[in-house]
Structure 1
Amino acid sequence: MILVTGGAGFIGANFVIDWFNTVDETVVNVDKLTYAGNLGTLESLRGDGSHIFVREDICDGQAMDFLLAQYQPRAILHFAAESHVDRSIRGPDEFMQTNVIGTFTLLEAARRYWQGLPEAEREAFRFLHISTDEVFGSLSMQAPPFTEKHPYAPNSPYSASKASSDHLVRAWHHTYGLPTLTTHCSNNYGPYQFPEKLIPLTITRALAGKPLPVYGDGLNVRDWLYVGDHCKAIRAVLARGRPGETYNIGGCNEVTNISVVHALCRLLDERWPSASGSYCNQIAAVADRPGHDRRYAIDASKLERELGWRPEETFETGLRKTVDWYLGHPRWVSEVSSGEYRKLAGADDLIGA
């Protein structure tokens, strides 16, 4: 079996669902269930004995020791993180606690567990740390995309906390020999994303008839990666990645924020026309975020060259799938928008427990 942290969040939950669609192997899913954790996303796995959900905090070393000893996973996939830049600016404390202290605590638990394994199991064990391209800072419009060799230059409390966690993972490999893997992904989008991020925020606010906020001039560039492609890449890295290595995962889709919003409005005009005219009329410029990075871009050629992965979705196909998913799941959207989903976090019948 494998152990996944943060498996009720956006990327982690997509990975768990995708895992069961492609792999016949048990998942121990560990999530603290902060505001970003949603058990409703995992509803399709309710009653599946191969999905063991545990509500726990990765900062609790004793709990991590217990889970590893109890379930004996062959790999740990570490998704758990605070990830929203605006929240990190308003309150960086939780980001330092979860992303830095939490990763340190998990690494130490993994090291103790790994060192006690029989030799063959120790050789096969992997610790896969999911990180972000934001640790590399901001690119000029003319600069080549980030490679795995790009120097770190984080510009927000969020990206600084993730850079710190990356350095811890690297150190635990080089000092203790823990067989780690690190991935740096570009901006993810797709089903089940919490509506504080640009794409689901735009969709949900457009349908509610609210203004569609765009920071500054809207010309900040991101490389957009469909979450399903990201999940496939992580499976490839887990299966064939070389311990101690890092791998960039990008969508090969550099698009400005304002272009993303316009594309969403056009799709919504087509799929769910408004009596008030085009959704583009709701676009509203707002004051720019402090320290807003201008451009991110990923060079994922190492991943293609060594592991044979390439994204399958273009930005157009991935965005269409995303809009259709949100239009087709009004209950999920309503529960998240209203906060109703938080009631599940206190439920006694946790999925697979």
Structure 2
Amino acid sequence: MDRPRLLNRRSVLGLGTAAAAVLVTPGCSRGRSTEPAPAGPAKLVTGNKGGVYATYGAGLAKLVTEVTGVEMTAQNTEGSVANLKMLDAGTADIGFSLSDSALDAYNGLEAFSSGQLRFTALARTYDNYVHIVVPASSKISSLKQLSGMTVNVGPKLSGTKVVAERILATAGIKGVNMVNLDLDGAVEALKLKAENKGSKAGIDALIWSGGLPTKPIKDLQSTIGFRLVPIGEVAKEIALMRFGGYVLSSIPPSVYSLASAVETLAVPNYLLAREGLSDSWAWWTLNTMFRRQADLIKVHPEAGSLDARSAIATMPIPLHRAAERWYRNNHI
């Protein structure tokens, strides 16, 4: 493997004022004034087009590239399960995952019962919220009414599918026709059903796990209109059964112009790294997330949820050693 190259004065000048400030401002890495730049490019895997993973990830990759002068590319995927498998296989360097999927993969449970996957953590980033979306004209108002309906549960390798199937199973709902569209496809299928009442085409509801707001869902209010189905009792049951992977929460009405808050599950998100990822890539990715947080918030407001005090809470998934050093040197 090539030896990491140091960012020299010429490199710093080429990065621009904002990026250079990350390098030279006292306290950026207390106890270590410089960090080697990565030796080669890196791949960050995200999620469905239009989702927060994809939006946040593209913005992060662009900023890390700007700061280091070494290319980081963002690649859309089906979501958490796909990302975890790619990290374990070494075909991706960094990726987002829902905590429940990550914990299952690390412990070799359920969808990952064929074997434990291995990766490290950079940070707990923000929380996803489970959305169960139905058209405003729909008669569906509870989970039980999904029985016999066509419901999108997310792509086959998504974290949404994991949590969606867990919710339906916990609620004891049978007879659901589950389909596996990506986010954009699910939104269009929901529109199709709402605009062609009585038609067998389209879907009756979509389940999505994402940050707030998820733009393709938010945009539905200006077309067919939508409501969110509350899952309070089932959410409590799942949160109690799986401590650490889920948090009982609610979606505020202001996020989607709803009539009231909707009880649901929140699922922490992790930014993970493949085993063996260079210290340079791990350190610069994490440093950029914190030092350029204001720029990332402009990309998506969920970037503002990153907090160093909670970012280290990824156990039992171990922090990458460079991430440990970053938090330690910044007195976290």
The two structures have a TM-score, normalised by structure 2, of 0.30
Higher helix share: 1
The two structures have a TM-score, normalised by structure 1, of 0.29
Specify which structure has the bigger relative contact order, considering alpha-carbon pairs within 8 angstroms and separated by 6 or more residues: 2
Highest CA radius of gyration, 1 or 2? 2
